Chain A
Amino acid sequence: DGGITQSPKYLFRKEGQNVTLSCEQNLNHDAMYWYRQDPGQGLRLIYYSQIVNDFQKGDIAEGYSVSREKKESFPLTVTSAQKNPTAFYLCASSADRVGTEAFFGQGTRLTVV
Protein backbone atom coordinates (compact mmCIF):
# COMPACT_ATOMS: atom_id res chain seq x y z
CA ASP A 1 0.00 0.00 0.00
CA GLY A 2 1.19 3.50 -0.78
CA GLY A 3 1.61 5.85 2.12
CA ILE A 4 3.80 7.54 4.69
CA THR A 5 5.43 5.57 7.46
CA GLN A 6 6.72 7.20 10.61
CA SER A 7 8.76 5.34 13.18
CA PRO A 8 8.89 4.80 16.02
CA LYS A 9 5.37 5.48 17.24
CA TYR A 10 6.63 6.35 20.72
CA LEU A 11 10.10 7.65 21.60
CA PHE A 12 11.66 8.58 24.91
CA ARG A 13 14.63 10.90 25.15
CA LYS A 14 16.90 11.61 28.05
CA GLU A 15 18.08 15.14 28.73
CA GLY A 16 21.01 16.06 26.48
CA GLN A 17 20.43 13.32 23.92
CA ASN A 18 19.86 13.69 20.20
CA VAL A 19 17.13 11.50 18.72
CA THR A 20 16.12 10.88 15.11
CA LEU A 21 12.57 10.38 13.89
CA SER A 22 12.09 8.44 10.69
CA CYS A 23 9.73 9.35 7.84
CA GLU A 24 9.50 7.25 4.68
CA GLN A 25 7.05 7.62 1.78
CA ASN A 26 6.43 5.41 -1.26
CA LEU A 27 4.11 7.85 -3.02
CA ASN A 28 6.88 9.22 -5.27
CA HIS A 29 6.20 12.68 -3.84
CA ASP A 30 8.70 15.48 -4.29
CA ALA A 31 7.73 17.58 -1.25
CA MET A 32 7.99 16.47 2.37
CA TYR A 33 7.26 18.28 5.64
CA TRP A 34 7.73 17.99 9.39
CA TYR A 35 5.22 19.46 11.81
CA ARG A 36 5.06 19.64 15.56
CA GLN A 37 1.73 19.46 17.37
CA ASP A 38 1.22 20.63 20.94
CA PRO A 39 -2.10 20.67 22.81
CA GLY A 40 -4.07 23.80 22.00
CA GLN A 41 -1.48 25.12 19.51
CA GLY A 42 -2.31 23.36 16.28
CA LEU A 43 0.41 22.24 13.85
CA ARG A 44 3.57 24.25 13.44
CA LEU A 45 6.00 23.76 10.56
CA ILE A 46 9.55 22.71 11.51
CA TYR A 47 11.23 22.01 8.15
CA TYR A 48 10.16 21.28 4.62
CA SER A 49 11.82 19.96 1.50
CA GLN A 50 10.64 20.50 -2.05
CA ILE A 51 13.27 18.36 -3.75
CA VAL A 52 16.08 15.96 -2.93
CA ASN A 53 19.16 17.57 -1.37
CA ASP A 54 17.28 20.76 -0.59
CA PHE A 55 15.27 21.86 2.46
CA GLN A 56 14.10 25.06 4.14
CA LYS A 57 13.43 26.11 7.70
CA GLY A 58 9.87 26.44 8.80
CA ASP A 59 8.54 28.55 11.64
CA ILE A 60 10.15 26.67 14.55
CA ALA A 61 13.38 25.14 13.19
CA GLU A 62 15.63 25.96 16.16
CA GLY A 63 16.89 22.80 17.86
CA TYR A 64 16.02 20.55 14.91
CA SER A 65 17.89 19.31 11.85
CA VAL A 66 16.90 17.36 8.74
CA SER A 67 18.40 15.73 5.66
CA ARG A 68 16.92 14.80 2.31
CA GLU A 69 19.40 12.46 0.63
CA LYS A 70 16.72 10.28 -0.94
CA LYS A 71 13.34 11.20 -2.40
CA GLU A 72 11.49 8.77 -0.18
CA SER A 73 13.13 9.66 3.14
CA PHE A 74 13.12 12.82 5.30
CA PRO A 75 14.47 12.09 8.81
CA LEU A 76 14.17 14.65 11.59
CA THR A 77 16.78 14.93 14.36
CA VAL A 78 15.73 16.55 17.61
CA THR A 79 18.93 17.87 19.13
CA SER A 80 19.81 18.66 22.72
CA ALA A 81 19.42 22.35 21.79
CA GLN A 82 15.65 21.89 21.59
CA LYS A 83 14.58 22.92 25.10
CA ASN A 84 11.04 21.59 25.04
CA PRO A 85 10.96 18.61 22.69
CA THR A 86 8.02 16.75 24.24
CA ALA A 87 5.35 16.83 21.51
CA PHE A 88 3.60 14.89 18.76
CA TYR A 89 5.58 14.99 15.49
CA LEU A 90 3.89 14.59 12.13
CA CYS A 91 5.46 14.02 8.74
CA ALA A 92 3.64 14.83 5.50
CA SER A 93 4.26 14.71 1.76
CA SER A 94 2.70 16.10 -1.40
CA ALA A 95 3.34 15.51 -5.09
CA ASP A 96 4.82 18.97 -5.59
CA ARG A 97 5.26 22.09 -3.58
CA VAL A 98 1.92 23.78 -4.28
CA GLY A 99 -1.51 22.87 -5.45
CA THR A 100 -1.55 19.19 -4.60
CA GLU A 101 -3.03 17.19 -1.77
CA ALA A 102 -0.91 16.60 1.33
CA PHE A 103 -0.86 13.24 3.09
CA PHE A 104 0.27 12.56 6.64
CA GLY A 105 1.88 9.74 8.56
CA GLN A 106 0.56 8.43 11.87
CA GLY A 107 2.93 10.48 13.98
CA THR A 108 5.65 9.95 16.58
CA ARG A 109 5.09 10.93 20.19
CA LEU A 110 8.35 12.09 21.75
CA THR A 111 8.67 12.36 25.52
CA VAL A 112 11.63 13.66 27.50
CA VAL A 113 12.34 11.56 30.60
Chain B
Amino acid sequence: KQEVTQIPAALSVPEGENLVLNCSFTDSAIYNLQWFRQDPGKGLTSLLLIQSSQREQTSGRLNASLDKSSGRSTLYIAASQPGDSATYLCAVYSGNTGKLIFGQGTTLQVKP
Protein backbone atom coordinates (compact mmCIF):
# COMPACT_ATOMS: atom_id res chain seq x y z
CA LYS B 1 0.00 0.00 0.00
CA GLN B 2 1.38 3.37 -1.03
CA GLU B 3 2.14 5.74 1.84
CA VAL B 4 3.30 9.34 1.49
CA THR B 5 5.15 11.13 4.26
CA GLN B 6 6.10 14.77 4.54
CA ILE B 7 8.77 16.08 6.88
CA PRO B 8 8.77 18.42 8.72
CA ALA B 9 5.13 18.90 9.69
CA ALA B 10 5.75 22.58 10.34
CA LEU B 11 8.50 25.01 9.51
CA SER B 12 9.13 28.64 10.43
CA VAL B 13 11.80 30.68 8.65
CA PRO B 14 12.78 34.34 8.32
CA GLU B 15 11.99 36.12 5.09
CA GLY B 16 14.59 35.69 2.36
CA GLU B 17 15.76 32.24 3.41
CA ASN B 18 15.99 29.39 0.91
CA LEU B 19 14.22 26.27 2.13
CA VAL B 20 13.53 22.64 1.26
CA LEU B 21 10.39 20.64 1.90
CA ASN B 22 10.60 16.86 1.81
CA CYS B 23 8.22 14.20 0.54
CA SER B 24 8.80 10.44 0.58
CA PHE B 25 6.73 7.57 -0.78
CA THR B 26 6.96 3.84 -0.16
CA ASP B 27 6.12 2.41 -3.62
CA SER B 28 8.27 3.64 -6.50
CA ALA B 29 5.68 2.53 -9.09
CA ILE B 30 4.20 5.99 -9.55
CA TYR B 31 2.99 7.78 -12.66
CA ASN B 32 3.66 11.28 -11.39
CA LEU B 33 4.11 13.42 -8.31
CA GLN B 34 2.37 16.72 -7.76
CA TRP B 35 3.04 19.54 -5.29
CA PHE B 36 0.15 21.67 -4.07
CA ARG B 37 -0.29 24.75 -1.93
CA GLN B 38 -3.24 25.21 0.42
CA ASP B 39 -4.14 28.45 2.17
CA PRO B 40 -6.30 28.24 5.33
CA GLY B 41 -9.90 27.34 4.54
CA LYS B 42 -9.23 27.16 0.81
CA GLY B 43 -8.86 24.51 -1.85
CA LEU B 44 -5.59 23.22 -3.25
CA THR B 45 -3.58 25.08 -5.88
CA SER B 46 -1.34 23.01 -8.13
CA LEU B 47 2.28 24.18 -8.06
CA LEU B 48 4.29 21.62 -9.99
CA LEU B 49 3.72 18.26 -11.66
CA ILE B 50 6.65 15.90 -12.22
CA GLN B 51 6.12 12.90 -14.48
CA SER B 52 7.81 9.66 -13.41
CA SER B 53 10.31 9.98 -16.28
CA GLN B 54 11.39 13.46 -15.20
CA ARG B 55 13.95 14.49 -12.62
CA GLU B 56 12.79 18.01 -11.87
CA GLN B 57 10.42 20.84 -12.70
CA THR B 58 10.79 24.56 -12.14
CA SER B 59 8.29 27.39 -11.84
CA GLY B 60 9.57 30.80 -10.79
CA ARG B 61 11.16 30.50 -7.34
CA LEU B 62 10.00 26.89 -6.98
CA ASN B 63 11.95 23.82 -8.00
CA ALA B 64 10.76 20.29 -7.43
CA SER B 65 12.94 17.22 -7.84
CA LEU B 66 12.04 13.56 -8.05
CA ASP B 67 14.15 10.50 -7.28
CA LYS B 68 11.79 7.64 -7.98
CA SER B 69 14.24 4.88 -7.10
CA SER B 70 14.71 6.21 -3.58
CA GLY B 71 11.08 7.28 -3.20
CA ARG B 72 11.82 10.94 -2.56
CA SER B 73 10.86 14.37 -3.80
CA THR B 74 11.91 17.79 -2.61
CA LEU B 75 10.35 21.20 -3.12
CA TYR B 76 12.91 23.99 -3.05
CA ILE B 77 11.66 27.53 -2.42
CA ALA B 78 14.16 30.27 -3.13
CA ALA B 79 14.18 33.64 -1.38
CA SER B 80 11.10 32.93 0.70
CA GLN B 81 8.48 35.66 1.21
CA PRO B 82 5.68 36.09 3.79
CA GLY B 83 3.21 35.38 0.97
CA ASP B 84 4.66 31.88 0.73
CA SER B 85 3.15 31.06 4.14
CA ALA B 86 0.74 28.16 3.56
CA THR B 87 0.51 24.39 3.81
CA TYR B 88 2.35 22.49 1.10
CA LEU B 89 1.17 19.01 0.13
CA CYS B 90 2.69 16.41 -2.12
CA ALA B 91 0.68 13.68 -3.80
CA VAL B 92 1.52 10.69 -5.99
CA TYR B 93 -0.50 8.90 -8.64
CA SER B 94 0.05 5.33 -7.52
CA GLY B 95 0.06 2.25 -9.70
CA ASN B 96 -2.69 1.86 -12.24
CA THR B 97 -5.61 2.71 -9.98
CA GLY B 98 -5.91 6.38 -10.75
CA LYS B 99 -5.71 7.26 -7.08
CA LEU B 100 -3.93 10.41 -6.00
CA ILE B 101 -2.47 9.73 -2.56
CA PHE B 102 -1.50 12.62 -0.33
CA GLY B 103 1.01 13.30 2.39
CA GLN B 104 -0.16 15.17 5.47
CA GLY B 105 1.54 18.39 4.44
CA THR B 106 4.13 20.83 5.74
CA THR B 107 2.83 24.09 7.20
CA LEU B 108 5.24 26.88 6.36
CA GLN B 109 5.42 30.24 8.09
CA VAL B 110 7.70 32.91 6.63
CA LYS B 111 8.27 35.74 9.10
CA PRO B 112 8.87 39.30 7.83
Contact = CB atoms under 8 A, between A and B. Distances in A.
Interface of A: 6, 31, 33, 35, 40-43, 45, 48, 50, 58, 88, 90, 92, 94, 97-107, 109
A42 B89 contact: yes
Given A99-B32, A101-B49, A106-B42, A48 B98 contact: yes
B44 A101 contact: no
Nearest to A102: B100
B74 interface: no
Q: Is the interface of B mostly helix, strand, loop or mixed?
A: strand
A48 B46 CA distance: 19
14 contacts: A35-B102, A41-B104, A42-B103, A43-B91, A45-B99, A45-B100, A90-B43, A92-B100, A99-B31, A99-B32, A101-B34, A101-B49, A102-B46, A104-B45
A109 B42 CA distance: 10
A33 B34 contact: no
Contact of B31 (A43, A92, A98, A107): A98
B59 interface: no
Contact of B44 (A31, A40, A45, A90): A90
A42 B100 contact: no
Interface string B22-48: 000000000110101000011111100
Interface residues of B, number: 24
B42 A101 contact: no
Given A45-B100, A92-B44, 18 more contacts: A6-B43, A41-B104, A42-B102, A48-B99, A90-B43, A90-B44, A94-B100, A97-B98, A98-B31, A98-B32, A99-B31, A99-B93, A100-B32, A102-B91, A104-B43, A106-B43, A107-B43, A109-B41
A57 to B, nearest CB: 11
Contacts of A92: 44, 100
